[in-house]
Amino acid sequence: MITHPRTEELAEAVGAWIDQIRPSLDPRNAFLARVAANAMATIGRELTLGPVAEARAIHAMAEVLGHEGTHGELNHALCGRIQAGEFTVETPGLLAALKVMARDQIAIDQPNYKPEGTPPPSAA
Amino acid sequence: MTVDVLATLPGLAQRLGGDGAHLAAAERLSGGASMETWAFAVDGPGGHEDLILRRRSAPFDPDTARSVSLATEAALIQATGARGAPVPTIRHLCDDADGLGEAYVMGRVEGETLGRRIVGDAKFDAVRGRLARQCGEVLVPIHATPPLPGLNLKVSDGEGELNRYEEVYRASGAERPILDLAFQYLRRRLPTPVEPVLLHGDFRNGNIMFDAEKGVAAVLDWELSHIGDPAEDMGWICTNSWRFGRPDRPVGGFGDYADLLDGYQAAGGRPIELSRVRFWQMLGSLRWGVMCLTMYLSWANGIERSVERPMIGRRVSETEADLVVLLEEGL
């Protein structure tokens, strides 16, 4: 990948421009523009955080399944084992692996989302 | 079909307000992806009237959308209102003469529907602690309303809902291990069947108008109404996607399970076990995850090209982050 600019910088620049013109838009388009700016931010996060998240998911799935593969192959195999009823919530390591994958994905898609189990904000 | 609503409203204002009436104000309120909401006002011989127009902007597909028609929605609002549920007044059901497609007009209720404000705004600090109990109370007249004949509301239970959403999930081609595990988990823990009742079907923070002093002002957005397990309406308002950043307050981001259940029972509802609500809450996260996939697919298939749709598809991961914790905790 070239670096001047990096792809995530292009996404950042487009997102900043959308934010800049938002105040001039009618309410519906202002709403859609906010969604579009969020999409650019998601693209930026996927570009920066995605490779590590994918490597971690591959490692976690391979561990549970007991064999290697690409992300797509392992994900497909994992879904198959669950659908067949061979893997359940009791399967050692399964929920822990899925939790790592879920946390990494939410960090890309919606870093401000507070999942179930998040403690209340501190009074400070 | 594209309708220029702004150009149509003056005619509607005249029809509603009578001779000499005119449109005093009109503004689209940002909102749902398939439904448009407009605030408008009529000045006429009878005085000033603040109204809301609700109209369908995306094609109506009862099979995939599950929505009821807006005429049915209006009928349900009237029927539950007659039983004492807090709902807006239905003012007018639009017909061909209005040129607005499927739509109705209701009286405007003052209050707040933005979930994040109800959960976090200091204005609601005083009333917030009472809201979960009130939500339990208002579900009682809704669930006690005899399903109206002729409306053909869908009937479903836990297993039916799982079948329905699993079919949509499989057809999507998406492979998400957490969704698969949630389907399997819930299928093995189906609640015992109960007598089905009329459900609001989308009873959550965001679809309820709250007043900062008196609490629940009106239950809105009846398009997903159907017949089923009363715990379904309770589980949905406990689904974390509608807690707006306060997962520590399970009911809508503002209250506790016990208050919701106590309010329901105190107002005459049949007692409901927490584990049953938790089943529906988890199914709620799963359902929302599948709905997010569906919204993405409507974009991918070219049915709805708004940028909003694929971005909602990226909300599947919020339901996965919630489901994986619920799977650890159990019902």
- Going by C-alpha positions, the residue among B269, B51, B287, B58 that lies closest to residue B168 is B287
CATH code for the domain in which residue B51 is found: 3.30.200.20
Q: Note the helical H segments in B98-204.
A: 115-120, 125-144, 158-172, 177-187
Q: Where in chain A are the domains?
A: 7-109
Whether residue A35 and residue B181 make contact (CB cut-off 8 A), yes or no, is no
Same-domain pairing of B168 and B102: no
Percentage of chain B modeled with pLDDT above 70? 96
Is the C-alpha dihedral spanning B200, B289, B313, A33 positive or negative?
Answer: positive
Question: Which amino acid is it at B82?
Answer: A
Pair of tokens at residue A62 = 């391979």
Query: For the residues A65-92, what does the mean pLDDT come to?
Result: 98
> Strand locations in B172-321, DSSP E?
197-199, 208-211, 215-219, 226-228
The DSSP secondary structure of B87-116, one letter per residue, reads -PPEEEE--GGGTSSSEEEEEPPPSB--HH
Same-domain pairing of B51 and B152: no
pLDDT computed for residue B63 by the predictor: 55
Confidence band, pLDDT 50/70/90 cuts, at residue B57? confident
Question: Which amino acid is it at A52?
Answer: V
Residues B29/B6, Cβ–Cβ less than 8 Å:
no
Q: Which residues contact B60 (CB under 8 A, 6 or more apart)?
A: B67, B69, B102
Whether residue B181 and residue A82 make contact (CB cut-off 8 A), yes or no, is yes
Confidence band, pLDDT 50/70/90 cuts, at residue B182? very high
Nearest-by-Cβ selection for B317 from A28, A75, A105: A105
Same-domain pairing of B177 and B260: yes
Nearest-by-Cβ selection for B317 from A31, A94, A106: A106
Domain presence at residue B113: no
Percentage of chain B modeled with pLDDT above 90? 84
Tell me the angle at which helices A94-109 and B177-187 cross, rounded to the nearest 10 degrees: 130
Which of A28, A38, A116, A118 best probes binding to B when mutated, by most B CB atoms within 10 angstroms? A116
CA angle B67, B70, B72 (to 5 degrees): 85
Same-domain pairing of B276 and B316: yes
pLDDT computed for residue B165 by the predictor: 96
Domain presence at residue B21: yes
Whether residue B181 and residue A114 make contact (CB cut-off 8 A), yes or no, is no
- Containing structural domain, residue B214: 126-329
Q: Is B11 helix (H, G, I), strand (E, B) or coil?
A: helix
- Distance (Å, whole) CA A36 – CA B260: 37
Better-predicted residue by pLDDT, B262 or B34: B262
Residues B64/B119, Cβ–Cβ less than 8 Å:
no
CATH code for the domain in which residue B177 is found: 3.90.1200.10
**ipTM metric:** 0.96
Q: Is residue B62 pLDDT above 70, yes or no?
A: no
Pair of tokens at residue B268 = 């005459």
Same-domain pairing of B291 and B178: yes
Domain presence at residue B135: yes
Whether the CB of B184 is below 8 Å from some CB of chain A: the reply is yes
Mean pLDDT computed over every residue of chain A: 96
pLDDT computed for residue B64 by the predictor: 55
Q: How many CB atoms lie within 10 A of CB B174?
A: 16
Nearest-by-Cβ selection for A102 from B27, B178, B310: B178
Confidence band, pLDDT 50/70/90 cuts, at residue A27? confident
Domain presence at residue B264: yes
Same-domain pairing of B219 and B82: no
Same-domain pairing of B218 and B100: no
Domain presence at residue B117: no
Query: For the residues B39-54, what does the mean pLDDT come to?
Result: 93
- Distance (Å, whole) CA B240 – CA B250: 7
Q: Is residue B299 pLDDT above 50, yes or no?
A: yes
Domain presence at residue B118: no
Tell me the angle at which helices B274-300 and B257-266 cross, rounded to the nearest 10 degrees: 110
Interface of A to B at Cβ within 8 Å reads 27-28, 30-32, 35-36, 38-39, 42, 75-76, 78-79, 82-83, 85, 87-89, 94-95, 98-99, 101-103, 105-106, 108-110, 112-120
Mean pLDDT computed over every residue of chain B: 93
Pair of tokens at residue A1 = 């990948």
Residues B109/B239, Cβ–Cβ less than 8 Å:
no
For the ranges B59-68, B172-181, B185-194, the lowest mean pLDDT is seen at B59-68
- Distance (Å, whole) CA A57 – CA A64: 11
* A49-67 pLDDT tens trace: 999 999 999 999 999 999 9
Instruction: Pick the last residue of a domain from B107, B142, B171.
Output: B107
- Going by C-alpha positions, the residue among B157, B168, B171, B195 that lies closest to residue B280 is B157
Confidence band, pLDDT 50/70/90 cuts, at residue B109? very high
Percentage of chain A modeled with pLDDT above 70? 98
Q: Is residue A4 pLDDT above 60, yes or no?
A: yes
pLDDT computed for residue A124 by the predictor: 47
- Distance (Å, whole) CA A111 – CA A78: 26
pLDDT computed for residue A90 by the predictor: 97
- Going by C-alpha positions, the residue among B10, B267, B52, B4 that lies closest to residue B138 is B267
Question: Which amino acid is it at B206?
Answer: G
Q: Is residue B60 pLDDT above 90, yes or no?
A: no
Q: Which residue of A has its CA nearest to B176?
A: A79
- Going by C-alpha positions, the residue among B323, B318, B290, B287 that lies closest to residue B156 is B287
Pair of tokens at residue B166 = 């699993």
Domain presence at residue B114: no
For the ranges B1-10, B127-136, B302-311, the lowest mean pLDDT is seen at B1-10
Chain B nearest CA to A95, separation (Å) = 7
Number of H helices, E strands in chain B: 12, 9
pLDDT computed for residue B152 by the predictor: 85
The DSSP secondary structure of chain A, one letter per residue, reads ---TT-HHHHHHHHHHHHHHHGGGS-HHHHHHHHHHHHHHHHHHHHHHHHHHHHHHHHHHHHHHHTS---HHHHHHHHHHHHHTTSS-TTSTTHHHHHHHHHHHHHHHH-TT---TTPPPPP--
Residues B118/B124, Cβ–Cβ less than 8 Å:
yes
Q: Is residue B65 pLDDT above 70, yes or no?
A: no
Distance of CA B58 to the CA centre of its chain: 17
Nearest-by-Cβ selection for B306 from A32, A94, A115: A32
* B154-174 pLDDT tens trace: 999 999 999 999 999 999 999
Q: Which residues contact A80 (CB under 8 A, 6 or more apart)?
A: none
Domain presence at residue B121: no
Q: Is residue A110 pLDDT above 70, yes or no?
A: yes
Structural domains counted in chain B: 2
